[in-house]
Structure 1
Amino acid sequence: MVSSTPEEIFRRMIDLMLAKDMNAVADMWAPDGIAEFPFAAGSSPRVLHGREEVRAYLAHYPELMDMKDMAALTVRPTDRTDTAVVEWTATGRTVATSRPYRLDYIVVLTVRDGLIALYRDYWSPLSVAAAAGGLAGLIDSLERENA
């Protein structure tokens, strides 16, 4: 596969997400690539190991969140050419409630041979739950975890 920069890979991933092609998004992962969500809470996974776990995770995303636009994007190169820090904002609507959302993310993206080797996504579970109308359920699950 032709080598691509982290920014090119990220922009392609967003284009595929906007097209709702989650299988193609998953195909961007290396077979042993990792997706990490350090701030995940409740029933959301903190780590996905490999392309097929990423594929299963993304399979129902369009049924939950209807992303319409990437409202902002800043790519910050690092001292490693295979890694960048990406700040971005997604806008759209949640499918269950039809409520609009605007969610901010910070991603540390590492690519290897044109595929995603590590995708560390710092997103707010509170913001996502609020947008999806599930804030009360998330709070309940957090309280049960800490009881």
Structure 2
Amino acid sequence: MSAPTSPADLYRHSLRLLLDKNIPAWVGLWAEGGVMEFPFAPQGWPERLAGKEAIAAYMRPYPDHIDLHDFPDLRIHQTTDPETIVVEMRSVGRLVETDSPFDMTYIAVVTAQDGRITSYRDYWNPLAVLEPGTDFTGSDR
């Protein structure tokens, strides 16, 4: 099966890989020079990851911290640029360490070229990480 090439199909495929906890395959959807940005990152968290290796290092421990169960309320909006989509979504699951529920809403601006993600701006709620006992990605921030 060939990899999805439209940004929307590629994004849907990336969510399936996250649910399957297949981080290596998820990273494989990225272009070598891809950039992941977190414009609302709180102090001490990365604001920008440049390159596939930096993104891989950041995402590698993700399943050890968050057990994702679903992405309800997924809405993908096409833009005037055919390579860029705007995504509204919610992810639900549990925090592995505390077994607490995980429920986060996101808006993402994603660009893909030649079937690979080149840019991902993740507008998640930084206030959620300020709640006591909440640790989404571990101590290696």
TM-score over 0.5 (shorter chain): yes
Q: Does 1:19 align with 2:20?
A: yes
Give, as a single letter, the amino acid of the residue that structure 1 aligns with 2:22: D
Which residue matches 2:134? 134
- Give the Cα–Cα distance (whole angstroms) in 1 for the partners of residues 44 and 4 of structure 2: 35
Give identity over the alignment, percent: 38
Q: State the Cα distance separating 1:133 from its structure 2 match.
A: 1.6
Q: State the Cα distance separating 1:126 from its structure 2 match.
A: 1.8
Matched pairs, number: 134
- Give the Cα–Cα distance (whole angstroms) in 2 for the partners of residues 21 and 98 of structure 1: 21
Q: State the Cα distance separating 1:79 from its structure 2 match.
A: 0.2
Runs of 4 or more off by more than 2 Å in structure 1? none
C-alpha RMSD over aligned residues: 1.7
Q: TM-score, normalised on structure 2?
A: 0.89
- Give the Cα–Cα distance (whole angstroms) in 2 for the partners of residues 25 and 19 of structure 1: 10
The correspondence of residues 33-72 of structure 1 with structure 2, limited to 5 A, is: 33-72=34-73
Q: State the Cα distance separating 1:5 from its structure 2 match.
A: 1.3
Which residue matches 2:10? 9
Give unpaired runs (5+ residues) of structure 1.
136-147
Going from structure 1 to structure 2, the CA distance change for 1:81 and 1:114 (only over 3 Å counts) comes to: same
Give, as a single letter, the amino acid of the residue that structure 2 aligns with 1:107: A
- Give the Cα–Cα distance (whole angstroms) in 2 for the partners of residues 13 and 112 of structure 1: 15
Give unpaired runs (5+ residues) of structure 2.
136-141
